[in-house]
Amino acid sequence: MIKSKKSNNPGLKNQIVNVFTKNGKKCTGEKILLNVSKSLQKSTKKNFQNLVQLAVINSTPAFKLNEQTMKKGKRKSKKIIPSFIIKDSLRIMRALKSLKIIASKDRTHSFYESFGKEILDSSSFKGQSAEQKSKVLNQILLNKRYLAKFRW
């Protein structure tokens, strides 16, 4: 008897739904995904799935920055420390969360429109999430001395 292996990595659709889930209700995440896909299909003739994959690839960070607050007396200072290479499974979730955060900051349009616009922009490597990725990469490259102590 041959058993089929289930992959531990859920599909991109499930990951998007998980990012948009509110208060443990997946139906809200599914509704958001459905509305975003409809608005993107109305605005462009490109395939929705290909656009989302390109957007995720273009906004996926390889590194992560951690903020560490340091207290000296009454003053607080934030020290940004690069956290090194992120696992593949976490990269996709970070990319989706950054797309969601950038879309939620835009108050001029509805969330569906702004998220669809961000997907279109980042799929062509012009969106704010792609710029944010390049900024993080530049900060990491400026702090190369931390990479010397990283154990490969």
pLDDT at 3: 47
- What backbone torsions phi and psi does residue 133 show, to the nearest 5 degrees? -60, -45
Is residue 29 in some structural domain?
yes
Which comes out higher in pLDDT, residue 69 or 96?
A: 96
Is residue 40 in some structural domain?
yes
Is residue 90 in some structural domain?
yes
The tally of domains found in the chain comes to: 1
Whole domain around residue 66: which residue ranges? 13-146
Is residue 91 in some structural domain?
yes
pLDDT digits 0-9 by tens, 69-78? 777 777 777 7
- State the pLDDT confidence band at 5, using cuts at 50, 70 and 90: very low
Q: What is the CATH number of the domain that holds 17?
A: 1.10.455.10
Q: Render 47-94 in DSSP notation, one character per residue.
A: -HHHHHHHHHHHH--SSEEEEEEEEETTEEEEEEEEE-PPPHHHHHHH
- Is pTM beyond 0.85? Reply is no
Cα 109-40-129 angle, rounded to 5 deg: 65
pLDDT digits 0-9 by tens, 10-50? 588 888 888 888 888 888 888 888 998 888 888 888 888 88
Is residue 113 in some structural domain?
yes
